Chain A
């Protein structure tokens, strides 16, 4: 009740004033009626009423709410103090804004990625089911139709399971054909996730699940907008995907997407979903290419499900050792699948940004302590006048929180800027950029962080202030106030921890930078400069015969080679750095035949002539494919150096024969050449033995053009498109990118984490410099008198400088030692993301520590420079 009155005070005061005025008027009128002159009447009325100011004050007194009143006083006083000490306030606010801003930005990312619930109602019960390839430890391998059907039939832990195949198709029928990412999914896919269509319906197993039923398609909201102009009557429309007709049955809600990149055939988010149905021949296939999701039965835990599936896997292995030996099963909750690799990096950034905030708080606390001793006089007077310790602590804490709140607001704004910067440098697919927004939750976070830091950096100075004995500073006089021992200790501890935390951050960033240097120095096995790549996929219905496809490519490559500025052109089935590659077992001719699961494994790709020359993969021995081999399957194979070493160690592989199990009728291929190894799936990936066939051997529906140019590869794009359309006006090309872009995209995530860490480290070192500078210059100020006396007694300036500087340096040194110790413990956490860099890399430790020591010395020196301007006589005269 009284709180309500408290907040209505201005209105109530106004009413009371009106009321008194009303009284005065009535009384005056009455008095006039009694025969007084108007002036007299008014005066008499005033006398009758009494002192209006006192009356109003009396009334207002009843509406007071003491705690708030005090708070308000403290806040106003705090404001005045901040305005009075503008330098202090500005540096503190800047420091806090940086700390809170960086935290706000990172929290926004963490919130969007890790905290907010996934957009699938059943997300908590949905798991990805992978095969686990035991020999090389790939824990997330796609599965085969046969295994999927076994799982689906025999498992005891899932309500439902669905298979997913991310594909790429040509959507034709519009003005120009479009290459579009699609996904073939089991009809129960959407009901496992628990999502429904915004328009129409999702797939229904009974309706869409049978072979031969009408082909149904579900559109993403974005495709509906882009391709169908948001037509509300789109349901029932026929679309053509890869020359086959589909009927649109539904449109998903805006923003719905489902894409698991792990071993996905297509590397793009699917925009159209079609139903996956198993034809009789695929049902028995053991070729692995399907992703699997399952909906756990209610009450079944992940561990139980994992155990049950492991048991099922060993039963399946017993039934079919040829295909299932060396394969196990691995369950991954959907959330960790979708955020897993990002989560680690984000936790790292969160830890780093938290350290930045700690440094910022330590800094402000140091400044506060320094200022507190100049305020001792004021506080002593307060206490002498009867303020109790509690009141003083509250006053100082209020000031800290006030400072922190203003810093928080500034930080929130800065966080917005940071986020914009973060969005511009963050690689696509790393974080859900569209989900990043500063909302109430983020504001709440920033506010909480501000208050917390206010308490954090305010607590030491406030206790310190409350311990002030009133008599002492008053007797000493204002100028001679000196630091007490405890205060010096507190500041020492703060500076030491500040330096230590900064060093941890610096070493972390240093390690990441070194790791990144190692990573980009890796030779991918080819020359990526001046290469343009483009994806071409045929619709299944046209180009069914192998000759048609071979001829298309031969003609296209001729056309491309004729474009001015093209040095050479070729094509590859699975381009390095662009995604997956096919893999299979091999059997060397003349050696004992092993079961499939024990045969060595190699990658397989298809290439057009000139591929190795175009990409700059060195030929080691033998020859590569010639032009005539682009029309005819000759059974020749070019192998990588590692494949040669794996199959024929110490022998000449040329002319040897090996069966590569990928065709219907597997006949041995003859090795005609050995080429250099290529890092296919990223700079940090291991080299895998690889076999290259010429294109007609398998006649894929898709190839990636590889074109070496004289100048900028991008300038070639229009000519390339025209060359394709000249040959087939219905044939789109997609993903036209320079090879260098693919290369830099592959390290984008690492680069991003490194950049952000480096930025934090820079902020940390900046804050540490401010801290060291601040504490030493404060020292100098406090000891001016002592220094003056020393110099008057004959001390050399240099030795005095040395004296003051050494204190700061000792603190920095202790900080560095603590920092090294902490880093030795903490950098181990980085081990998994460092590439060919030891977490205890001595070079990094030494260089970074030395750099911090030098920087600290410089900051200290700048601070003690003013000693040279101290005039002993002036100082002594002041006494």
Chain B
């Protein structure tokens, strides 16, 4: 039952951060789409309710940019599944984006803190 809806607010807000999350997830080792989705959801303590479908265009885009690569292989229950793996370029990209993200978070925090105090 597909429904015509945009990804949830969270994903919209964090446009671009999805890439970062995927790269970060793959740092642990190769994984297929389903796993990546659940890992992201789980590790963010279910805060980031990514609509899993939006993951796939992102994977496609990352692959086109050469940051991740994919291959078809047997999954746990012996069906064929597509595994994604971080490439060297992807690893570099991850470092770069992580530090930029940290900067961004610090900057936003600096702006927000006085208000909270």
Contacts and interface: CB of A to CB of B under 8 A. Distances in A.
Interface of A: 1, 5, 15-16, 18-20, 22-23, 25-27, 29, 43, 46-55, 58-59, 62
A51 B61 contact: no
A205 B82 CA distance: 75
Given A22-B79, A62-B60, A55 B1 contact: no
B32 to A, nearest CB: 7
Interface string B2-44: 1111010000000000000000000000001110010000000
Given A22-B32, A22-B33, A23-B34, A50 B79 contact: no
B60 A47 contact: no
B73 to A, nearest CB: 12
B101 interface: no
> Could you say which of A29, A46, A59 has the most chain B C-beta atoms within 10 Å of its C-beta?
A59
A234 B72 CA distance: 64
A103 to B, nearest CB: 45
Interface of B: 1-5, 7, 32-34, 37, 51-54, 56-57, 60-61, 64, 72, 75, 77, 79-82
Given A22-B81, A49-B2, A58-B57, 5 more contacts: A22-B79, A49-B51, A50-B3, A50-B51, A51-B53
A5 B64 contact: yes
Contacts of B53: 20, 49-52, 54-55
Nearest to A55: B53
A16 B34 contact: no
Interface of B is mostly: mixed
Nearest to A2: B64
A54 B57 CA distance: 10
A53 B2 contact: yes
Given A19-B33, A22-B34, A62-B64, A49 B52 contact: yes
B47 to A, nearest CB: 16
Q: Which 3 A-B pairs have the closest CB atoms?
A: A50-B53, A51-B2, A58-B57
B2 A54 contact: yes
Contacts of B4: 51, 54
B57 A59 contact: yes
A398 to B, nearest CB: 29
B56 A16 contact: yes
Contacts of A53: 2
B12 to A, nearest CB: 13
A63 B72 CA distance: 20
Nearest to B34: A26
Contacts of B37: 23
B3 A51 contact: yes
A59 B33 CA distance: 14
A59 B63 CA distance: 11
Given A23-B52, A27-B34, A16 B81 contact: no
B5 A55 contact: no
A62 B61 contact: yes
A23 B33 contact: yes
Contacts of B52: 23, 27, 48-50
Contact of B79 (A5, A25, A59): A25
A22 B64 CA distance: 21
A46 B60 contact: no
Nearest to B32: A22
9 contacts: A1-B64, A19-B82, A22-B33, A43-B1, A50-B7, A51-B5, A51-B53, A54-B2, A54-B4
Counting chain B CB atoms within 10 Å of each CB, which of A1, A15, A49, A50 scores highest?
Answer: A50
Contacts of B82: 15, 18-19, 22
A55 B56 contact: yes
Nearest to A12: B60
A62 B1 CA distance: 25
B2 A20 contact: no
Give the most central of A5, A47, A52: most B CB within 10 Å. Answer: A47
B57 to A, nearest CB: 4
